[in-house]
């Protein structure tokens, strides 16, 4: 196992996803420091009396909006919604601030939604490394840019993207939740402790080995759903694996029956699932009890808990991102896949480009 995963990484990791994963905490630190009124004087033009914030984006560029949403549900001044589509919700009005995120700056869904928003009087903050979306800032005084470094897969740029989104909402007073330097130091330890090259026989690589042959299911509380959904997406893109996800307590009222409950007539498919529970210290006590019951009564013997350490929800979410990123990369390598390769997505984009000609 030790020589195997290192050899696989050398042979398969062509775009250095491992390097980008190791840089996660530094990306957050740099991004946090890049959003201030000295570097971005237009921040003084941004109002503070917003009804809400609408985050536009797709794929890895959209993930940060989900994290902002649960953080604002916990301690924010206004609601934050994430929207993944070509249009805007019918209820949207210009008193909702828009954060439009596209790492490349060329995501067609986000571009079309932003064009509509500009035409209808929106104030838009763009987070991008370039492309057409960044260019929109030169066409309208109501569109402002927070730039990111370029040159990597969008899903690996989450630290760049989310740190800027978070710092922006803190700067304009919508969120008070900041990532402290002490938290960043603890997260850096997590990056190093879960490194599958430094520890090729560690817990992450061993868990990946156990997940190779079985369908994967991921469950956790509502407030961890951004990390759960991002984990699913990382498994999809990095590992080319499907994963089903569910939120507790909601899944207790429906999906629990499909798992088989405590009865004798259990679905054989449930017994074959590899089940991963994501948790953190701040879970509601009743959610914790529900999770304990499910562990005791679930028909599968392949169940693990991935615990997000941290003093806050934000830190716990980021800790889970670190562990699950490493896990998705390890699983990719064990399956013989380059964790950066996304041929079906590239093929689809080429097809759509041809349809526009």
User: Would 357 be classed as within a structural domain?
Assistant: no
Instruction: Answer yes or no: do 188 and 167 share one domain.
Output: no
Q: Is residue 76 in some structural domain?
A: yes
CATH of the domain at 153: 3.40.50.10490
CB atoms within 10 A of CB 114: 24
**Same-domain pairing of 201 and 285:** yes
- Digit-by-digit pLDDT tens for the chain (357 residues) are 555 899 999 999 999 999 999 999 999 999 999 999 999 999 998 888 999 999 999 999 999 999 999 999 999 999 999 999 999 999 999 999 999 999 999 999 999 999 999 999 999 999 999 999 999 988 889 999 999 999 999 999 999 999 999 999 999 999 998 899 999 999 999 999 999 999 999 999 999 999 999 999 999 999 999 999 999 999 999 999 999 999 999 999 999 888 875 455 556 777 889 999 999 999 999 999 999 999 888 888 899 999 999 999 999 999 999 999 999 999 999 999 999 999 999 999 899 888 887
Indicate whether 353 belongs to any domain: no
Q: Who contacts 35 (Cβ-Cβ below 8 Å, separation ≥6)? A: 43, 146, 164, 167, 168, 171
Does 354 fall in a domain?
no
Residues 101 and 228 in one domain: no
Of 131, 147, 178, the last residue of a domain is 178
User: Which pTM value belongs to this model?
Assistant: 0.95
**Cα separation of 134 and 105, whole Å?**
6
Tokens of 48: 């503070």
Determine the Cα–Cα distance for residues 343 and 63; give it in Å rounded to an integer. Answer: 21
Do 93 and 125 reside in the same domain of the chain? yes
Strand order in the sheet with 80-83: 80-83, 52-56, 96-102, 124-128, 143-147
Residue 104 belongs to some domain of the structure? yes
Clarify whether residues 155 and 299 are in a common domain.
no
Full domain range(s) for residue 209: 2-9+182-334
- The total domain count for the chain is 2
């Amino acid at each position: 196992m030790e020589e195997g995963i290192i050899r696989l990484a050398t042979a398969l990791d062509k775009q250095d996803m491992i390097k980008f994963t190791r840089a996660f905490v530094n990306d957050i630190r740099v991004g946090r420091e890049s959003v201030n009124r000295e570097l971005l004087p237009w921040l003084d033009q941004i109002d503070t009396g917003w009804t809400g914030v609408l985050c536009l984006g797709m794929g890895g560029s959209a993930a940060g909006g989900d994290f902002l949403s649960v953080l604002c549900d916990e301690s924010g001044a206004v609601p934050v919604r994430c929207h993944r589509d070509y249009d805007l919700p019918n209820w949207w009005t210009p008193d909702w601030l828009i954060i439009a995120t596209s790492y490349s700056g060329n995501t067609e869904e986000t571009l079309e939604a932003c064009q509509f928003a500009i035409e209808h009087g929106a104030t838009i903050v763009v987070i991008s490394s370039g492309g057409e979306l960044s260019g929109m800032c030169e066409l309208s005084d109501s569109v402002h840019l927070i730039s990111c470094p370029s040159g990597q897969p969008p899903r690996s740029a989450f630290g760049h993207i989310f740190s800027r989104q978070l710092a922006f909402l803190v700067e304009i007073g919508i969120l008070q939740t900041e990532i402290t330097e002490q938290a960043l130091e603890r997260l850096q330890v997590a990056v190093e402790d879960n490194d599958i090259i430094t520890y090729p026989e560690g817990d992450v690589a061993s868990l990946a080995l156990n997940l190779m042959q079985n369908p994967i299911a991921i469950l956790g509380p509502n407030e961890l759903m951004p990390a759960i959904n991002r984990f699913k997406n990382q498994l999809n893109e990095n590992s080319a694996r499907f994963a089903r996800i569910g939120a507790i307590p909601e899944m207790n009222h429906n999906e629990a029956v499909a798992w088989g409950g405590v009865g004798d007539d259990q679905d054989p498919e449930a017994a074959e699932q590899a089940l991963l529970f994501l948790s953190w210290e701040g879970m509601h006590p009743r959610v914790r009890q529900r999770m304990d019951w499910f562990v005791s009564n679930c028909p599968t013997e392949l169940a693990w808990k991935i615990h997000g350490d941290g003093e806050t929800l934000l830190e716990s979410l980021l800790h889970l991102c670190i562990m699950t990123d490493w896990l998705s990369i390890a699983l990719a390598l064990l399956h013989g896949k380059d964790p950066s390769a996304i041929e079906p997505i590239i093929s689809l984009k080429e097809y759509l480009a041809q349809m526009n000609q």
